[in-house]
Amino acid sequence: MRQLIGRLTQACVIVGLLAMLSYASGLHNAVRMKAPDAGAWWNAHEFYFMEGAATALGLLVALRVGVRFAAEAASTRYLAPVALALEAALLMPLTHLCARVARIGADGGAIVAPDRMAAYAGFESGKMLDKLLIAALYFLKTVAFGFLIGLALFGAVLVAAIVSARSGGASIDARDTRP
């Protein structure tokens, strides 16, 4: 299970960074020159790939952290697959929620970064660096909100497992040897 979560995390990082860089730099225009239909499709979906990968990355990192915290108190043999299945089922609604929350404060009027970047790098380069900075911040904010929600989901699964064990269900404690 640990390897699966690791591979999924790597895939989220790769897809998220590729979509973020493509969105910020306008890479879809280069794809459109070679394959117009593929470039148009990528242009229409690259932002959603970035949002989805960022949310999934936050959820997966939270799952890894939650498993490590819970490993000392209980056997997490069944907690990680249950939490992973719950996160996969809720990925789309959580993506929309995390993306909306990450947009809070994105339209500030007192931002000085674009002016300074344009002063040092030139107008065109500064404009691209500004788009890259905005996309990176948005990606990181979405990951952070996905992480917080992922910790809450893992906590809910852990509490459900503890309550189930106390009410006569399967034990989650590895030291418990009841017949």
Least confident residue range of 4-8, 127-131, 174-178: 174-178
- Confidence class for position 15, pLDDT limits 50, 70, 90: very high
At 88 the pLDDT is 92
pLDDT, residue 33, reads 87
- Mean pLDDT (whole number) for 94-99: 90
> In angstroms, rounded to a whole number, what is the distance separating the alpha carbons of residues 145 and 136?
14
State residue 22's pLDDT score: 87
Do 110 and 31 touch, CB atoms closer than 8 A? no
Per-residue pLDDT at 98 exceeds 70: yes
pTM for the predicted model, two decimal places: 0.80
Q: Does the pLDDT at position 124 exceed 80?
A: no
Task: Report how far residue 102's alpha carbon sits from residue 144's, in angstroms, rounded to the nearest whole number.
Answer: 9
- Asked whether residue 158 carries a pLDDT value surpassing 90, the answer given is no
pLDDT given for residue 170 in this prediction: 55
Predicted confidence at residue 142, as pLDDT, reads 92
What pLDDT band is residue 111 in, cutting at 50, 70 and 90? low
**What would you measure as the largest C-alpha separation in the chain, in angstroms?**
73
- Mean pLDDT of the residues in the chain: 81
pLDDT computed for residue 133 by the predictor: 81
Kindly report, residue by residue over 132-153, the tens digit of the pLDDT.
888 888 899 999 999 999 999 9
CB atoms within 10 A of CB 134: 16
Quote the pLDDT of residue 110: 47
pLDDT tens digit string along 52-75? 999 999 999 999 998 888 776 555
